[in-house]
Amino acid sequence: MKWQLIFPPSIIEKHLRGFGSYSILVNKFAPVYLAGIIEYLCAEILHVTIDNLGSNHQRILVKDMELGILNDIELSKLFKKFFF
């Protein structure tokens, strides 16, 4: 089954601009690039998690995602700097 993640750049732009509460300069392409990065990271995390789980599970838990990230070399390097 093919799933598609969608992160709308318009909503990301609202978050980047702080819903109008403060004014920072945001390029018009920044929300598009950030949406692409977030989509790629989420898809990669879900792919690694599903591969790590196997076929006998019906739901994905946070612990499953954590184990999937730790078992992947590139994702573990990325997330160890911030979370682990």
- DSSP conformation letters of 30-58: HHHHHHHHHHHHHHHHHHHHHHHH-SS-S
Q: Cα–Cα distance between 3 and 51 in angstroms, integer? A: 15
pTM of the model: 0.76
**For 20-79, what is each residue's pLDDT tens digit?**
666 677 888 989 999 999 999 999 999 999 888 887 778 889 999 999 999 999 999 988
